Structure 1
Amino acid sequence: MSALPARADAVVIGGGVVGTSAAFHLAEAGVDTVLLERGGLGGGASAHTAGMVRTYFPGAPATGRRAVRSLEAYRAFARRTGAPLALGRLGFLVLFTDERQIADFEADQEAQRAAGVEVGLIGAREAAGLNPLVGERAVLAAAWSPEAYHVDGLDIVRGYAAGARGHGARLYTHTPVVRIDDDNTVHTPRGSVRADTIVCAAGPWAGEVASLASVDLPLAPHAMEMLFTDVPPAPHPELPMTLDAGSGLRIRSWRDRILLAMGAPKADETRDAWLGRVSGRLGALFPALDGIGLHRAWSGDFDASPGNTAFIGAHPTRRFLYAAGFTGAGLCQAPAAGEQLRDLLIAA
């Protein structure tokens, strides 16, 4: 087990998709970079997602702008990092079941387009044509964004990690941060390293890490459980990611089954009651899946901000940068987040 260096220009805390992106972009810019990860690379929230990158985020065009830039970066990923990255187009469909949702979409559309997001309003019949499981009579209209792709999040983490090492960054796994001194000395069981700048990209633990440096990040871990259905009775084509605007239920193809999510049980709700809510909404929107068996796929915590939009910035009085609050959408924004952290550090 190699010891940590005595100092570094930047110490990135967190080895998920955002942390490895930050390490890559910093090292590529010539910044002497050390990354510390409490477990294995990509072992946190980055490994517990639906494996999608998209550019349309309803009601959040600023997030969409970051996602548009990130998709451009993913298309150049192999050239920049030397690691291949497969993007499989699926598209993103958002189902509207009441007129208010349609009005909200129309009020938001101009800002979305100004952010570079490709999205339009379609009718229920066209929505059912894109996803044959949709019950045409259950929806009024839908938003359709073709710029959504399947991707393996661990491929992104490994690619950025390899690229960061290629530019001289030093990455340490199974190295939790236990204390941060006022002079930015970061202490771990492996030793200590003094950072000119700390970069906090620790996902669900970002608030905990920030508190070690006496920095307040208003984060709350957000639980999410992914579910698999039984094999549907009839074969289905590969489906777009489909979101119910009302309940947050989302589904997509996963081999011969359907992968879905709708949050997690509430504090006062049993898991069986939650599964009943999920099953009821699933059957109402997708009649062919009514009553189908549901099984745990995987679960995890995500870093959630009060407004469910990521915040990236710098502490006003110490050299401490942060990127947190991605609420499970870190894959969609990681390249742009890494670029922004790099720019903040260089400008400081």
Structure 2
Amino acid sequence: MSRLPERADAVVIGGGVIGASTAFRLAESGVGTVLLERGELGSGSSRNTAGVVRTYFPGNALISSLAVRSLADYRALGERTGADLGLKKIGFLVLFTDEREVRDFRQTRDAQRAAGVDVELVTAAEAAQLNPLVDERAILAAAWSPQAYACDSVSIVRAYAAAAQRAGATLHTDAPVTAIDPDGRVHTPAGSILADTVVCAAGPWAKTVAAMADVTVPVTPYPVELLLADHPGGAPQKALPMTMHPSGLRIRSWEDRILVGMGAPAPDETRQDWLGRVSQQLGTAFPSLAGVSIESGWGGNLDLSPDGMAFIGRDPARPFVYAAGFSGQGLCQAPAAGEIVRDLVLGKESWIDTTGLSTARRLDGRAGTG
């Protein structure tokens, strides 16, 4: 790693999509920015997702508003930099199996549309047309949002990192943070740097990093494993949309196979038992996939918050800003999160009311990943 400068206006800890987006926003605003990444850029939770950028987040219009703004910024990033972000429209389908789910959708649809989300209620037959693996006899209806894109998360991280460097930021990989002093001095094995503001975008390591600065960010590393399955009867004519079943099972096309997600083994569950549970649920939700063989794709840790919604805020007692706990949804919110962090660092009013995003909110919601 190259030598660290003696000081910086802002030191961003974490080189995933949140950190890279934040470093870019800070640097383009004239903030002297240094980014520190413990490994390689995009090597953490940014690559441990299903690689989908979407705008519809059922039951949470605030996240949806961040996602809508972020999708627009991804499009602008590709146009501005010429980088291929791998954006391919696939759509997002949420299946409903009971009347409560349909009722909840109707009650929240206006808030979602006000946030800029294109989403509608479709019949079971229409859902089966959108995803031929859906058994229309097993569902009542579905929510359909065409605003969902498969993407290349590593390319996105690299594009933001390159844009940040062009704007004047310096990036240091293989630079794990080992301590943070009360005055904002950040220590690494290669030296230390004094920061006017420390920004924690460390994903699954955010709680540990924040604790170094005597700040509490209640984020827990949450293991996930994504699986691959073969299509029944060969590859389909068109890509399957990302499809979410009420059980938490999610599928989408991945090249000529099917990507399957349903968390990871429970603490008291063997991996073999978990694979059996996933296989059983897969066959129940999508009967044509009953009995298909599934194998490991990739996995790692996500940064989980207690209620499944990110923490973005500023510690009231220290020059310490945090953006973590995205619970698998960071790829969908990173550009907007970067803007919010920039405004917190600069002391500016943000484009959105961020009160509900800080760690001060009451955390009595049920955890979940996106």
- TM-score scaled by length of structure 2: 0.92
CA distance in 2, matches of 1:26, 1:81: 17
Name the residue aligned to 2:241: 240
By how many angstroms is 1:110 displaced? 1.5
Q: What's the counterpart of residue 187 of structure 1?
A: 187
Q: Residue 142 of structure 1: SS of its match in structure 2?
A: strand
User: For 1:4-44, what per-residue CA distance to the aligned partner results, in whole angstroms no more than 9, with x for missing partners?
Assistant: 11100000000000000000000000100000000000000
Equivalent in the alignment of 1:254: 254
User: Where does 1:87-126 land on structure 2 (aligned, <5 Å)?
Assistant: 87-126=87-126
| Match of residue 226 from structure 1 | 226
**Aligned counterpart, 2:304:** 304
Partner residue, 1:331: 331
Report the counterpart of residue 269 of structure 1 in structure 2.
Answer: 269
Shift of 1:232: 3.0
Distance apart, 1:81 and its partner CA = 4.1
Question: CA offset at residue 86 of structure 1?
Answer: 3.3
Structure 1 residue aligned with 2:24: 24
Equivalent residue runs for 1:186-205 within 5 Å: 186-205=186-205
- Helix, strand or coil for the counterpart of 1:299? strand
Partner of 2:148: 148
Task: Give the deviation of 1:192 after TM superposition.
Answer: 0.2
Structure 2 residue identity aligned to 1:39: G
SS of equivalent residue, structure 1 residue 133: coil
Report if aligned partners of 1:81, 1:160 keep a CA contact under 8 Å in 2. no
Secondary structure in 1 matching 2:154: helix
The 8 Å contact of residues 11 and 33 in structure 2, kept in 1 or not, is answered as yes
8 Å CA contact retained: 1:77, 1:84: no
| Distance of 2:324 and 2:347 partners within structure 1 | 20
Give the whole-Å Cα distance in 2 for the aligned partners of 1:224 and 1:82.
32
Aligned identity (percent) is 61
Query: Could you say if the C-alpha distance between residues 156 and 282 of structure 1 is closer, same or farther in structure 2, counting changes exceeding 3 Å?
Result: same
Unaligned runs of 5+ in 1: none
> In structure 2, what is the equivalent of residue 46 of structure 1?
46
Distance 1:262 1:152 in 2: 21
Distance in 2, Cα, partners of 1:45 & 1:150: 17
What SS does structure 2 have at the residue aligned with 1:132?
coil
CA–CA distance in structure 1, aligned partners of residues 155 and 225 of structure 2: 22
Q: Which amino acid in structure 2 is aligned with residue 259 of structure 1? A: L
Distance 2:86 2:297 in 1: 23
Change (3 A) 1:111 1:87: same
Contact 1:123/1:142 (8 A) holds in 2: yes
Mapped contact 2:93–2:242 kept (Cα < 8 A): yes
**Cα deviation digits, residues 142-196 of structure 1 (max 9, x gap):** 0000000011001111001101110111100000000000001000001000000
Quickly say closer, same or farther: Cα 1:120–1:82, change in 2 above 3 A.
Answer: same
1:78 Cα offset (Å) = 2.8
1:340 lines up with 2:330 in the alignment: no
Q: Is the 8 A contact 1:36 1:173 kept in 2?
A: yes
More off after superposition, 142-151 vs 78-87: 78-87
Q: How many residues align?
A: 347
Q: Which residue of 1 aligns with 2:133?
A: 133
What is the RMSD computed on CA atoms of the aligned residues? Answer: 1.1
Give me the whole-angstrom Cα distance separating, in 2, the residues matched to 1:249 and 1:86: 24
**Matched residue type, 2:97:** T
Q: 1:266-302 CA distances to partner (integer Å, 9 max, x unpaired)?
A: 1122222222221112112212111100101011111
TM-superposed CA distance for 1:256, in Å, is 1.5
User: 2: distance between equivalents of 1:57 and 1:82?
Assistant: 29
Is the CA contact (8 Å cut-off) linking 2:123 and 2:141 kept in structure 1?
yes
Distance 1:123 1:16, change over 3 A: same
- Does 2:78 correspond to 1:78? yes
Q: State how far apart, in whole Å, the 1-side matches of 2:154 and 2:64 are.
A: 22
SS of the residue aligned with 1:76?
A: helix
CA distance in 2, matches of 1:50, 1:287: 22
Residue 29 of structure 2 aligns to which amino acid in structure 1? A
Task: Look up the match of 1:321.
Answer: 321
5+ unaligned residues in a row in structure 2: which ranges? 349-370
Which amino acid in 2 is paired with 1:321?
A: V
Which region of structure 1 is more displaced relative to structure 2, 12-21 or 131-140? 131-140
TM-score, length basis structure 1:
0.97
